[in-house]
Amino acid sequence: MSKNVQDLDGLVEAFEVYPTSNPTPPGERAAELAAPRFGTVFTDHMSRITWRKDSGWQDRRVVEYGPLALDPAAAVLHYAQEIFEGLKAYRHADGSIWTFRPEANAARFQRSAKRLALPELSTDDFIGSLAALVRKDIEWVPSADGFSLYLRPFMYASESFLGVRSSHEVEYLVIASPVGSYFADGVKPVSIWIAQDYHRAGKGGTGSAKCGGNYAASLLPQIEAYEQGCEQVAFLDDVTDTYLEELGGMNLFVVRSDGTVETPELTGTILEGVTRSSILQLARDRGHEVVERRISLAELLAGLRDGSVSEVFACGTAAVITPIGRFKGVNFDEVVSGGAAGELTMALREELTGIQTGKVEDRYGWLTRLA
């Protein structure tokens, strides 16, 4: 059962609202909402909570969106003690605003915090901060099909101290950005470069945490992908250079021609995607056999060549489900599904976005009403 809007009132009331004296004029906002490019336009406000080692989380507030004051010695600038999340707020046909599985993001944010030696934020504060911001900037939630308000919670070490230890001062914020498709070309099959000389994560490292450092490590291989004529990069495991892990910011799925749906198992070096786990559920309930296991690149390429692999797709909050049309590496270049979007890929995308936008019944209780 979906959660009701009144359930969040108490959480939202914990946030003091300081409205901007300079809100975006309605005409300008309408123009921004008409065709936003992913992550380039931001709403008028942001949620914020401060943490101090001796007094804990405090000062819950919604303030004007704007630059942050940061001492040049702030720990995050030197030692990358930072984590983030990604969710979306969707406007349903009746004007109500909903988000998708925020408890799962809150729990992952807590796990990421633990790994990066940051303080854990309660699920109530996490969801309260989303609802407080969305209620303040409600006009920024797009209503057009395929559009939503991307929510970006993040936390960083703000203490000015150059010694290497976990910070005694931390800031948590949520910013919001109206978005359409993650890729500039819309939902079209993307091409993937398999990184040859780089890995995203190593055993015992931070691969399963959503921290900025993991994304920083993927940027150079991403440039290599562009140079190879590919849109995205995918990584193999760091120990044997054999098994598929994930893209820079998305999980991977393989569909076999017998209908089996497979995804790399969580080995500690892969991000536990909320979209990933939702797809596993949806595919299972459609009657597909669903398998989480190690999938080697050699096996994938052989399956593409002999036709036993029929579809491959990537998934994440930002890009939802994105078909993959091609895999390229140093000595291979294989097309997937004849370069077209796979049937199950698009059916799962339709069902998932249908649930998120209120067009398909939320039979899993995945939605929380924010406003």
Contacting residues toward ligand COI, per CB under 6 A: 86, 215, 249, 316-318
Q: How far is 263 from 283, CA to CA, in rounded Å?
A: 12
End-to-end C-alpha distance for the chain, whole angstroms: 17
Closest distance of CB 209 from ligand COI, Å: 12
* Of residues 57 and 183, the one with the C-beta less far from ligand COI: 183
* Of residues 210 and 288, the one with the C-beta less far from ligand COI: 210
* Of residues 270 and 309, the one with the C-beta less far from ligand COI: 270
Contact 42, 149 (CB under 8 A): no
**Cα–Cα distances in angstroms (integers) from residue 366 to residues 3, 86, 104, 278, 358, in the given order:** 9, 16, 10, 9, 11
Of 123, 208, 110, 124, nearest in space to 155 by CA: 110
Q: What angle do CA 179, 184, 189 make, to 5 degrees?
A: 115
Residue 130's contacts (CB-CB under 8 Å, 6 or more residues apart) are 47, 87, 89, 99, 102, 151, 153, 174, 370
3-state SS class at 263: strand
Closest distance of CB 330 from ligand COI, Å: 26
367 is written with which tokens?
Answer: 């939605």
Q: How far is 4 from 17, CA to CA, in rounded Å?
A: 22
Closest distance of CB 108 from ligand COI, Å: 11
* Of residues 57 and 215, the one with the C-beta less far from ligand COI: 215
* Of residues 270 and 318, the one with the C-beta less far from ligand COI: 318
* Of residues 12 and 315, the one with the C-beta less far from ligand COI: 315
